């Protein structure tokens, strides 16, 4: 009876020695930070890894630019808009299919084919044109996600003049692409932020959830004013915010926002100032945030109710007073 006890004791001693000399001396990962300017905006990335992944991050940016940058004349999406023969890569296909999915779920409130109208109003990848009711009416037939499809790895358009504007989904997907690259290199804790869109996984360097702020919708076309309205704690998923308080212009005393209603052809006019959406991935969150800004407050809350895979936080104007409302599952912090 004594021999088994002796063997057990020796095993415990060996385990303790192993823990002391090998586990404690194993190389510990550290948190790295990377930031800069990309896709016409800023980015900030923090991640835990064995070594710097800057080169991998830069490579992801380049791959994304070559596929989905509307300002890169050699990109896949630019070729599609010109009706050039081009091989559709996985990045473009992922965005196209997700956009189609969200378009159907929002009854066309989100629609990438709104590009001709976005360009007309001066918020796209072409110079602003003279806006008239007749011009808007002439472009409306070019809009409609059902009029464009993928067939045999090529984009088939109902009208060759149709174009795609991916700006309302691209930044979110760029976050996802970088996050996937970090995970592929073994990172289990990270936050990727590009132009305000965010993807997180795991915990920060203090072992706590990542804290992400939602800005107050303060009119600021320079994007230099940043006042936090709410703080969200996240350990997984994507968060995107859409609003009309930064990307706008005033002409002849009237304010024109960058959110164009695909059905009317005009910039939206309603009380909703900011829509923040949480989803499993940032591409989905980005697209739904845009859709919410199109449909307004009440329909945005309904979208969150109907689609349990998204949660929303909304800031709106109630006769000159900023007010907030959120879906049942949105993780609100009472202390900021």
**pLDDT tens digits along 320-329:** 889 999 999 9
Q: pLDDT band at residue 158, thresholds of 50, 70 and 90? A: very high
Q: pLDDT band at residue 5, thresholds of 50, 70 and 90? A: very low
Check residue 1 and give its pLDDT: 44
Q: What is the pLDDT of residues 204-219, one digit of tens each?
A: 999 999 999 998 887 6
Token pair for residue 297?
């407050």
Percent of the chain whose pLDDT exceeds 90: 72
The answer, yes or no, to whether residue 131 has pLDDT greater than 90, is no
The answer, yes or no, to whether residue 4 has pLDDT greater than 90, is no
Token pair for residue 166?
């991916």
**Segment 37-53 mean pLDDT:** 95
Instruction: Go through the domains of the chain in sequence order and give each one's CATH number.
Output: 30-326 (3.10.520.10)
What is the 3-state secondary structure of the chain? Answer: CHHHHHHHHHHHHHHHHHHHHHHCCCCCCEEEEEEEEECCEEEEEEEEECCCCHHHHHHHHHHHHHHHCCCCCCCHHHHHHCCCCCCCCHHHHHHHHHHHHHHHHCCCCCCHHHHHHHHHCCCCCCCCCCCCHHHHHHHHHHCCHHHEEEECCEEEECCCCCCCCCHHHHHHHHHHHHHHHHHHCCCCCEEEEECCEEEEECCCCCCCCEEEEEECCCCCCCCCCCCEEEEEEECEEEEEEEECCCCEEEECCEEEECCECCCCCCECCCCEEEEEEEECCHHHHHHHHHHHHHHCHHHHHHHHHHCCCCEEEEEEEECCEEEEEECCCCCCCCCC
**Segment 84-108 mean pLDDT:** 97
Q: What is the pLDDT of residues 12-25, one digit of tens each?
A: 444 444 444 444 44
**Segment 85-102 mean pLDDT:** 97
Question: Is-above-0.85 flag for pTM?
Answer: yes
**More confidently predicted of 89 and 223:** 89
Alpha-carbon distance of 65 to 243, in angstroms, equals: 24
């Amino acid at each position: 009876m004594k021999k088994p006890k002796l063997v057990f004791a020796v095993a415990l001693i060996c385990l303790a020695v192993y823990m002391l000399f090998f586990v404690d001396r194993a190389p510990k990962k550290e948190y790295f930070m990377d930031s800069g300017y990309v896709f016409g905006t800023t980015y900030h990335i923090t991640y835990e890894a064995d070594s710097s992944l800057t080169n991998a991050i830069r490579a992801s940016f380049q791959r994304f630019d070559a596929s989905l940058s509307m300002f890169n004349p050699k990109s896949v999406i630019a070729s599609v808009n010109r009706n050039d023969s081009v091989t559709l890569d996985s990045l473009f296909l992922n965005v196209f299919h997700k956009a189609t999915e969200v378009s159907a779920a929002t009854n066309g409130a989100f629609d990438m084919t709104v590009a001709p109208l976005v360009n007309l109003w001066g918020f796209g990848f072409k110079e602003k044109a003279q806006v008239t009711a007749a011009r808007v009416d002439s472009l409306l037939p070019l809009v409609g996600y059902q009029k464009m499809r993928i067939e045999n790895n090529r984009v088939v358009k109902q009208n060759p003049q149709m174009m795609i504007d991916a700006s309302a989904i691209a930044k979110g997907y760029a976050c996802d692409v970088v996050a996937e690259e970090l995970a592929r290199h073994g990172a289990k804790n990270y936050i990727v932020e590009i132009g305000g869109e965010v993807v997180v996984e795991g915990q920060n360097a203090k072992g706590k959830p990542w804290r992400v702020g939602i800005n107050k919708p303060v009119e600021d076309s320079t994007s230099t004013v940043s006042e936090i309205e709410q703080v969200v704690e996240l350990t997984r998923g994507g968060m995107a915010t859409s609003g009309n308080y930064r990307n706008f212009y005033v002409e002849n005393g009237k304010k024109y926002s960058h959110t164009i209603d695909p059905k009317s052809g005009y910039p939206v006019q309603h009380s909703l100032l900011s829509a923040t959406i949480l989803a499993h991935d940032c591409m989905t969150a980005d697209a739904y945030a845009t859709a919410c800004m199109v449909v307004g407050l009440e329909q945005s809350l309904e979208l969150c109710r109907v689609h349990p895979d998204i949660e929303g936080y909304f800031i709106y104007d109630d006769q000159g007073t900023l007010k907030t409302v959120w879906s049942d599952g949105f993780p609100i912090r009472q202390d900021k």
